[in-house]
């Protein structure tokens, strides 16, 4: 049988206040994590917009697969003809230490893609710009999945909105 504990009204009031404060802090943390995830998704969409129109659907599908099922699913969904170059690219990528560094990486890809200006994607140069985009999309998938795992206590509804 359980132990009986006596609480005064002030004890009970203090406990309730602590729970409310903790819940509000968690809610703020959840909102910050959700906002960061939303920001990373927007950056992924921006990266996809750099690609030639004929490849955007494929990249969008890869990105969404990675977000929903994880980095391994992202890697497995990459077309076979791009896998080896993609593996080389992600081996050289470093996880950004800040949002500014991530934004700089995205700007570098944008500049590179603009320099190529929709060349035929059978050439090495054109393929490399897609590989660069894939590499950063993969990095965003990893970041988003990491944020989700940090905020598991927030509940599923916040992550799928």
Task: Give 3-state DSSP helix, strand, coil % of the chain, rounded to 5.
Answer: 80, 0, 20
- Residue 20 inside a domain? The answer is no
Distances (CA, A) of 75 to 68, 106, 117, 135: 13, 20, 26, 10
Q: pLDDT tier at 160 (50, 70, 90 boundaries)? A: very low
- Residue 17 inside a domain? The answer is no
pLDDT at 66: 93
Q: Rounded distance, CA 48 to CA 148, Å?
A: 22
- Residue 45 inside a domain? The answer is yes
Residue 139: CB atoms within 10 A of its CB come to 23
Give the count of domains, the chain: 1
Task: Pick the closest to residue 74 from 50, 102, 44, 101 (CA basis).
Answer: 44
Range 104-133 average pLDDT: 72
Q: Rounded distance, CA 53 to CA 79, Å?
A: 17
- Residue 7 inside a domain? The answer is no
- Residue 6 inside a domain? The answer is no
Where in the sequence is the domain holding 136, given as residue range(s)?
38-151
* Tens-digit pLDDT profile for residues 53-103: 888 999 999 999 999 999 999 999 999 988 999 999 888 888 888 989 999
Range 137-149 average pLDDT: 87
Q: Rounded distance, CA 48 to CA 153, Å?
A: 31
């Amino acid at each position: 049988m359980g132990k009986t504990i006596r609480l005064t009204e002030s004890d009970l009031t203090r406990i309730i206040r602590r729970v409310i404060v903790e819940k509000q802090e968690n809610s703020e943390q959840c909102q910050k994590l959700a906002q960061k995830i939303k920001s990373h998704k927007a950056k992924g969409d921006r990266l996809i917009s750099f690609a030639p129109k004929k490849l955007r659907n494929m990249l969008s599908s890869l990105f969404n697969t990675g977000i929903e099922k994880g980095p391994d699913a992202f890697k497995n969904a990459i077309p076979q003809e791009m896998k080896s170059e993609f593996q080389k690219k992600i081996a050289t990528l470093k996880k950004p230490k800040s949002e500014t560094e991530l934004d700089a990486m995205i700007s570098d890809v944008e500049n590179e893609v603009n320099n190529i200006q929709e060349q035929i994607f059978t050439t090495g140069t054109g393929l490399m710009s897609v590989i660069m985009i894939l590499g950063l999309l993969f990095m965003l998938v990893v970041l988003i999945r990491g944020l989700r795992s940090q905020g598991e206590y927030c509940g599923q509804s916040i992550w799928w909105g």
